[in-house]
A and B are shown apart, each in its own frame.
Chain A
Amino acid sequence: MAEQEKKPSRIVTWLREHPMPACVIVLSLIATVAGLLLGGINRLTYQSPEEKLAKNLNKAYATEGKWEEVPLDGISVEAKDKTVSVTGVYKNTDGTDVVYIYSTTAKGYKSGLELMVVVKNDKIIKIMKTSSNETLGVENNESFLSQFYNIDITTIEGFRTNKQKTDGTEVNAVSSATKTSNAVAASVDLVVGYHKAIAGGAK
């Protein structure tokens, strides 16, 4: 090691003797290598928004069939909670079953609570979080979410938690996480309205 320090390579000696160009050369070299590395990794890992959506849809409901986006033109459902909106509706016919997935966004404790609500034959079978900044994980709490499952949503007014004063079938909010519970219930409530408008007209 001591011998190495006594005899530095010619490149190192030159860089030490010319500090100004050395700064430019070294920083440029590091930036170039970093850029090439990041470019390569980005090429390997890039996912388009369509690919991300397809991945999420198949995670919410695994099927061989192709998902079709349902146009929302002309469908107007008023949300009881103004922070909630439905961002997309996707339909898939899996054998004799008709499956809809409603993509929603809402504000719970923080904004950006995005869910996918899976409705199979007019009954909610799964609520999956796609993005969230909530702290207590209510959106993953199956005992809370299961209160929305297996109810024919074309026959009910909607959903509300025991902390909300709106109309609808009551579910119990998770204690000390009321805002997130309300946001999830409001999202599902809006999905009920949309589902009635899209698929439940006959009932």
Chain B
Amino acid sequence: MKKRNNPNSKWSIVTSGIIKNNPTFRLVLGTCPTLALTTAAMNGIYMGLATTFVLVCSNVMISLLRNIIPDKVRIPAYVLIIATFVTVLDMVIEYALPDVYEILGLYLPLIVVNCIILARAEAFASCNTIGDSALDGLGMGIGFMLSLTLMGAIREVIGAGTIFGAAIGNLPEYSMSVIAMAPGGFLVYGLMMAAVNQISIRKRDKALREELRIEELKPIIIKEGK
């Protein structure tokens, strides 16, 4: 338990990407595939797994080469490494899983420019050990996958009345297909972000109250010019 609370422990590196620094809801990275692909829960799992693979592989490779990549060309070098792994994944999925390839469509090659991967390469892998970088990639990937799957599940249940493709009773007859479309993506994403923000604010306030030993925190309103 003590180990989990240590911010430098291996476990903390993994959980940081899942909860505290969740790429979708806390860092607001990778919004394009989040909005486009979360029409169904299964899509979230496919995209999450694909991104996790690229994140782990690129983090390990960048961490391995961090001492020999000159600073001036680090971004082209990172993009080259990320693009290689994305292309490998693209070719393998097209060959082995054509149905998944159809679902991911354009968003699979677009993982190259996914902000999460470049951000983790620059912020973490370029200055940490290979093992820690792999764990960071794994945590971020799992966090991204869970967010996408949760959002996909909500949109699928409300928008199509199904969950993982299986109909829920008579719900398909009362489905609101606008939720499965683009406007629904923005709506659900906004509401979920508001919920996550509310939870994190409460958590922060609770921690602050415990630290200051006071009952309630009241916001101080400062009116300008008065």
How would residues 150 to 166 of chain B score, 1 for a CB under 8 Å from any chain A CB and 0 otherwise? 00000000001000000
Known pairs A15-B68, A26-B68, A135-B39; A45 contacts B91 (CB<8 A): yes
Q: Is the CB of B180 within 8 A of A12?
A: no
Q: Is the CB of B180 within 8 A of A34?
A: no
A132 to B106, CA, bound (A): 12
Question: For residue A62, which residues in chain B have a CB less than 8 angstroms away from its CB?
Answer: none
Q: Is the CB of A133 within 8 A of B105?
A: yes
Q: Is the CB of A27 within 8 A of B77?
A: yes
Q: Which of B7-15, B79-87, B208-216 contacts A (4 or more CB under 8 A)?
A: B79-87
Check: B72 CB closer than 8 A to any chain A CB. yes
Which partner residue on chain B sits nearest A8 by CB separation?
B67
Question: For residue B83, which residues in chain A have a CB less than 8 angstroms away from its CB?
Answer: 34
A23 to B72, CA, bound (A): 8
Q: Is the CB of B70 within 8 A of A22?
A: yes
Residue of A15, A41, A135 near B88 (CB, 8 A) is A41
Q: Is the CB of A11 within 8 A of B92?
A: no
Q: Is the CB of A19 within 8 A of B84?
A: no
Q: Is the CB of A135 within 8 A of B92?
A: no
Q: Enumerate B72-106 residues with CB–CB distance to A below 8 Å.
A: 72-73, 76-77, 80-81, 83-84, 87-88, 91-92, 94-96, 102, 105
Check: B181 CB closer than 8 A to any chain A CB. yes
Q: Is the CB of B88 within 8 A of A19?
A: no
Q: Is the CB of B68 within 8 A of A135?
A: no
Chain A: interface size category: 20 to 34
Q: Is the CB of A11 within 8 A of B68?
A: yes
Q: Is the CB of B77 within 8 A of A30?
A: yes
For B70, B72, B73, B80, the residue with the greatest tally of chain A CB atoms inside 10 Å of its CB is B70
Q: Is the CB of B88 within 8 A of A23?
A: no
How would residues 1 to 27 of chain A score, 1 for a CB under 8 Å from any chain B CB and 0 otherwise? 100000010011001000100110011
Known pairs A26-B69, A26-B73; A135 contacts B95 (CB<8 A): no
Q: Is the CB of B177 within 8 A of A136?
A: yes
Which partner residue on chain B sits nearest A18 by CB separation?
B70
Question: For residue B65, which residues in chain A have a CB less than 8 angstroms away from its CB?
Answer: 26, 30
A23 to B95, CA, bound (A): 35
Q: Is the CB of B68 within 8 A of A34?
A: no
Q: Is the CB of B92 within 8 A of A34?
A: no
A58 to B129, CA, bound (A): 49
Question: For residue A177, which residues in chain B have a CB less than 8 angstroms away from its CB?
Answer: 177
Min C-beta distance of A13 to chain B, whole Å? 10
Q: Is the CB of B181 within 8 A of A135?
A: yes
Q: Is the CB of A23 within 8 A of B84?
A: no
Known pairs A12-B67, A135-B180, A135-B181; A34 contacts B81 (CB<8 A): yes
Min C-beta distance of A10 to chain B, whole Å? 12
How would residues 111 to 139 of chain A score, 1 for a CB under 8 Å from any chain B CB and 0 otherwise? 00000000000000000010111011100
Using a CB–CB cutoff of 8 Å, the interface residues on chain A facing chain B are 1, 8, 11-12, 15, 19, 22-23, 26-27, 30-31, 34, 37-38, 41-42, 44-45, 47, 129, 131-133, 135-137, 176-177
Q: A34-B84, A45-B91 are in contact. List 19 more A-B contacts (CB 8 A).
A: A15-B70, A19-B70, A23-B70, A26-B69, A26-B70, A26-B73, A27-B73, A27-B77, A30-B81, A34-B83, A42-B91, A45-B94, A45-B96, A131-B102, A132-B102, A135-B181, A136-B39, A136-B177, A136-B180
Q: 5 tightest CB-CB pairs across the interface, nearest first?
A: A45-B95, A34-B84, A176-B177, A23-B73, A45-B91
Can you report 23 A-B residue pairs in the complex whose CB atoms are below 8 A from each other?
A8-B67, A11-B68, A19-B72, A22-B68, A26-B73, A27-B73, A30-B65, A30-B81, A34-B80, A34-B83, A38-B84, A38-B87, A41-B87, A41-B88, A41-B92, A45-B91, A45-B95, A129-B102, A132-B102, A135-B39, A135-B180, A136-B180, A177-B177
